C-alpha cells in the first residue's frame, strides 16, 4: 500500500468515526495533539528542573558567589533558551487582517451580529474581498485567551442582501460557537511544530534521528487525515446551526450567491489592468469590484451558466469545504439562480462608513496604483519585444505566450486563445519542449478544453518535474467536471509523489552531512550541460559532489558547488542551470567551506487557521 492509498484509508476511517460518534472524532484529534506536545513539554520540564537544581546548588549548597556576573550570564542564557523553546512549541499564527469597525461607525451591522448572539465577537473587520471568515487568535500562546475576529469582505456585502448577510454571519458565529477556530489554531500550531522537527531531522540536527522519523511517519498522516475530515465536519456543523437560525432556504440562497462570485476577482484584475495600460486613471479595486459584481448579476445567462458549473462541481475527501451540491442536498433545498439584489447589504449595514471605506481604499490605491501601472507597462513592453523577435527560442515563446495571456486590452478569453495559438505552433516546431506543453495544457483546461489533459501528460513524459503541478491542474479539472473518482485517484498519486520526494530529500540531506568535497561524480551528459552553461574554465574549477536519489521516474540531483567556481556565473546561466540540473531551488547549495545555504531559502510562513 503506497502513501496515497494509506492516507485515503486514514481519511475514510476518520470520516466513519465522525459519522458514528462525533465525540470520539473530537477526542481522537485532542489525543493526536497531546501526543505531539507531550515529549516536547516533558523536555521543557526536564530542562526547567535541571536549571532549578543547578541554581539551588550554586545558591544553597555552595557559598554565595561574590561575583554575580557568571550567574547573570547563566540567567540570560537560560532566558534565551526558554524564549526559543516557547516559540518552538507555540509558533505565531497569521493575524486577522482588515480594517476594524466600531459600533459607532456601523451600528446596523453590530446590531445584526448581536441579534444572532450565539457567541462573543471581540472585533469586526472589513476588507476588499469577496469572502467572509472567522479568526480566533490566542492572546497568550498555549495559555489561550482567544480574541474572536469576524472578517467580512465589502465586496461580498455588496453582493448580498440583509438576509444573506444574516446567514453569512450566522455561519461564521456557528464556527465560533463550536470552537472551530480554536481547533484550527491548535492544528496549525502542532503541524507547524512537527514540520520544524521534520526539517531538523532531515538535515541531521536532531538525534536520534531515526526515532523522530519513525514517529513522524506514523503521526503526520494521522494528524493531516484528521484535520482534512475536521475541515468538512466544521462546515457541516456550521451549516446545520445556520439552518436553525435563518432557515435552510435563506442559508442555501446566501451560499449560492457567494459561490457565484467565484472568478470575479480575475475580471476585476483585468479591468484595472486594462485601465493601467490605456494610461487612464484606474479605478480603485473596491470601485472595480462593485462594478463587476453588478454587471455579473445583471447578466442572467452568465449567472445560469456559472450556477450550472458550480452545481456540477464535486469535492474530494481532502477538500476542507463540501461542494455546493452536497451542502444543498444536506439542507434539502435545491440551489437556484438568485434574483438581483434590490437593497444591497453594504449600503444598509455599513451606512455612513461605506463612503469612508471607499475613500480609504482609493487613497491606498493612489499610492500603490502607479507602481502597479509601471510593472504592467514593463510587462507589455517585454511582450512587444518578444513578439518582435524574428528568431525566438522555445523559452522566449513560452514567456511571450504567458505575457499575452496576462496583459492586453482584449477580454481574457481572447488573450488566452492567442496564447494557446502561440504554444500550439511552438510544440509543433519543438515537440520536446516540456514547458510549452505544460502551459498549453494549463491554458486549454482554463478554456474548458479537455485536450489540455493530453498536453499535460506530454509535458510530464518529457520532464517528470512537471508532475506535481500537472496533477494539481488535473485534480481541479476533474472536480470541475464532476468526476470525483479520478480526482481522488490523482490526489492519492500526488500524496505518494510528495512522500517519495520527502524521503529522497531526507536521504540527500543525510548523505550531504557525510560529503567530502572532491571532483564531481557527474555523468557525461550532466558534465556536458555544465560545460555548455558555464564554460570550460569555470566548470573545471568546480569542486562538487552529486548525490542522486531515484524516485519513480524522477531523479533528484543535489549539486554542491565551491564558492570560487560560482562567482563569474551570470543570472541567466544560474537560471538555466537550475532548470536543467535540479528539481527545485532548494536542491542546489552554495558552499564557501564553512556554511552551506540554499539558493532559495524556504521561509516558514505563519500558518493560516481561519475558518470560512
Is the pLDDT at 445 greater than 90? The verdict is yes
Average pLDDT over residues 31-55: 79
- Asked which of 77-91, 96-110, 455-469, 475-489 is least confident by mean pLDDT, the reply is 77-91
Extents of the domains making up the chain = 389-482, 510-598
Distance CA 592, CA 597 (A): 9
CB-based contacts of 447: which residues, under 8 Å, 6+ apart? 413, 416, 417, 420
Q: Please state the rounded mean pLDDT for residues 517-523.
A: 42
Dump pLDDT digits (tens) for 410-436.
Answer: 888 999 999 999 999 999 999 999 889
List, in sequence order, every beta strand (DSSP E) within 280-426: none
Which position has the higher pLDDT, 16 or 93? 16
Confidence of residue 148 (pLDDT cuts 50, 70, 90): confident
Q: Which pLDDT tens digit goes with each residue over 323-358? A: 999 889 888 888 998 888 888 888 889 988 999 999
pLDDT of residue 141: 63
For residue 205, pLDDT beyond 80: no
Burial of 153 (0-12, 13-18, 19+ CB in 10 A): buried
Most confident of the following: 54-68, 90-104, 260-274, 509-523: 260-274
Q: Which residue has the cell 507531550?
A: 38
Least confident of 109-123, 138-152, 283-297, 513-527: 513-527
Q: pLDDT at residue 175 above 80?
A: yes
Q: How far apart are CA 379 and CA 562, in angstroms?
A: 36
Find the DSSP H helices in 300-352.
300-312, 324-331, 345
CATH class held by domain 389-482 = mainly alpha
- For residues 159-163, give the mean pLDDT: 91
* pLDDT tens-digit map of 210-252: 667 778 788 888 888 898 888 888 888 889 888 888 899 999 9
What is the distance, to the nearest Å, from the Cα of residue 31 to the centroid of all Cα atoms in its chain? 26
User: Of 373, 369, 367, which is closest to residue 277 (Cα–Cα)?
Assistant: 373
Residues whose CB is less than 8 angstroms from the CB of residue 384 and which lie 6 or more positions away in sequence, other chains included: none
Find residue 588's DSSP bridge partners: 559
* Cα–Cα distance measured from residue 307 to residue 108, given in angstroms and rounded to the nearest whole number: 31
What is the number of other CB atoms lying within 10 angstroms of the CB of residue 295?
13
Residue 189 to residue 40: CA distance in whole angstroms:
13
Amino acid at each position: 500500500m503506497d502513501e496515497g492509498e494509506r492516507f485515503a484509508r486514514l481519511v475514510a476511517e476518520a470520516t466513519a468515526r465522525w459519522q458514528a460518534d462525533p465525540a470520539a472524532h473530537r477526542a481522537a484529534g485532542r489525543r493526536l495533539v497531546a501526543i505531539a506536545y507531550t515529549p516536547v513539554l516533558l523536555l521543557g520540564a526536564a530542562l526547567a528542573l535541571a536549571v532549578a537544581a543547578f541554581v539551588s546548588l550554586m545558591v544553597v549548597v555552595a557559598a554565595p558567589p561574590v561575583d554575580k556576573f557568571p550567574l547573570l550570564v547563566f540567567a540570560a542564557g537560560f532566558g534565551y533558551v526558554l524564549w526559543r523553546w516557547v516559540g518552538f512549541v507555540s509558533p505565531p499564527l497569521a493575524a486577522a487582517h482588515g480594517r476594524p469597525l466600531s459600533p459607532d461607525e456601523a451600528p446596523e451591522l453590530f446590531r445584526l451580529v448581536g441579534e444572532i448572539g450565539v457567541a462573543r465577537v471581540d472585533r469586526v473587520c472589513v476588507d476588499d474581498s469577496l469572502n467572509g471568515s472567522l479568526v480566533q487568535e490566542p492572546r497568550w500562546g498555549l495559555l489561550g485567551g482567544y480574541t474572536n475576529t469576524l472578517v467580512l469582505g465589502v465586496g461580498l456585502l455588496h453582493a448580498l442582501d440583509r438576509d444573506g448577510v444574516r446567514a453569512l454571519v450566522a455561519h461564521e458565529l456557528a464556527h465560533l460557537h463550536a470552537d472551530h477556530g480554536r481547533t484550527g489554531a491548535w492544528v496549525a500550531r502542532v503541524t507547524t511544530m512537527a514540520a520544524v522537527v521534520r526539517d531538523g531531522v532531515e538535515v541531521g540536527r536532531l538525534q536520534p534521528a531515526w526515532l523522530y522519523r519513525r514517529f513522524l511517519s506514523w503521526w503526520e498522516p494521522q494528524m493531516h487525515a484528521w484535520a482534512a475530515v475536521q475541515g468538512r465536519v466544521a462546515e457541516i456543523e456550521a451549516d446545520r446551526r445556520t439552518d436553525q437560525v435563518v432557515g435552510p432556504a435563506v442559508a442555501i440562497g446566501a451560499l449560492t450567491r457567494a459561490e457565484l462570485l467565484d472568478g470575479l476577482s480575475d475580471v476585476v484584475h483585468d479591468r484595472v489592468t486594462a485601465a493601467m495600460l490605456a494610461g487612464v486613471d484606474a479605478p480603485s479595486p473596491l470601485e472595480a469590484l462593485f462594478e463587476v459584481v453588478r454587471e455579473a448579476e445583471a447578466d442572467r445567462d452568465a449567472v445560469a451558466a456559472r450556477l450550472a458549473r458550480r452545481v456540477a462541481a464535486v469535492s474530494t475527501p481532502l477538500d476542507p469545504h463540501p461542494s455546493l451540491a452536497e451542502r444543498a442536498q444536506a439542507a434539502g433545498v435545491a440551489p437556484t439562480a438568485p434574483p438581483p439584489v434590490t437593497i444591497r447589504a453594504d449600503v444598509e449595514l455599513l451606512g455612513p462608513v461605506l463612503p469612508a471605506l471607499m475613500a480609504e481604499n482609493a487613497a491606498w490605491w493612489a499610492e500603490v496604483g502607479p507602481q502597479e501601472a509601471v510593472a504592467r507597462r514593463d510587462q507589455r513592453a517585454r511582450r512587444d519585444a518578444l513578439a518582435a523577435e524574428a528568431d525566438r527560442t522555445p523559452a522566449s515563446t513560452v514567456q511571450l505566450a504567458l505575457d499575452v495571456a496576462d496583459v492586453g486590452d482584449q477580454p481574457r478569453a481572447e488573450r488566452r486563445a492567442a496564447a494557446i495559438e502561440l504554444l500550439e505552433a511552438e510544440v509543433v516546431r519543438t515537440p520536446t519542449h516540456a514547458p510549452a506543453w505544460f502551459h498549453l495544457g494549463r491554458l486549454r483546461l482554463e478554456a474548458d478544453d479537455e485536450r489540455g489533459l493530453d498536453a499535460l501528460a506530454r509535458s510530464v513524459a518529457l520532464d517528470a518535474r512537471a508532475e506535481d503541478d500537472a496533477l494539481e491542474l488535473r485534480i481541479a479539472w476533474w472536480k470541475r467536471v464532476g468526476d470525483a473518482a479520478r480526482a481522488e485517484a490523482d490526489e492519492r498519486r500526488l500524496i505518494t509523489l510528495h512522500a517519495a520526494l520527502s524521503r529522497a530529500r531526507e536521504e540527500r540531506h543525510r548523505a550531504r552531512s557525510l560529503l567530502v568535497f572532491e571532483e564531481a561524480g557527474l555523468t557525461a551528459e550532466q558534465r556536458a550541460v555544465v560545460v555548455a552553461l558555464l564554460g570550460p574554465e569555470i566548470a573545471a574549477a568546480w569542486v562538487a559532489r552529486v548525490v542522486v536519489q531515484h524516485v519513480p521516474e524522477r531523479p533528484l540531483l543535489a549539486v554542491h558547488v565551491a564558492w570560487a567556481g560560482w562567482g563569474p556565473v551570470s543570472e541567466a546561466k544560474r537560471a538555466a542551470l537550475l532548470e536543467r540540473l535540479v528539481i527545485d531551488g532548494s536542491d542546489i547549495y552554495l558552499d564557501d567551506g564553512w556554511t552551506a545555504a540554499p539558493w532559495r531559502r524556504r521561509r516558514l510562513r505563519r500558518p493560516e487557521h481561519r475558518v470560512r
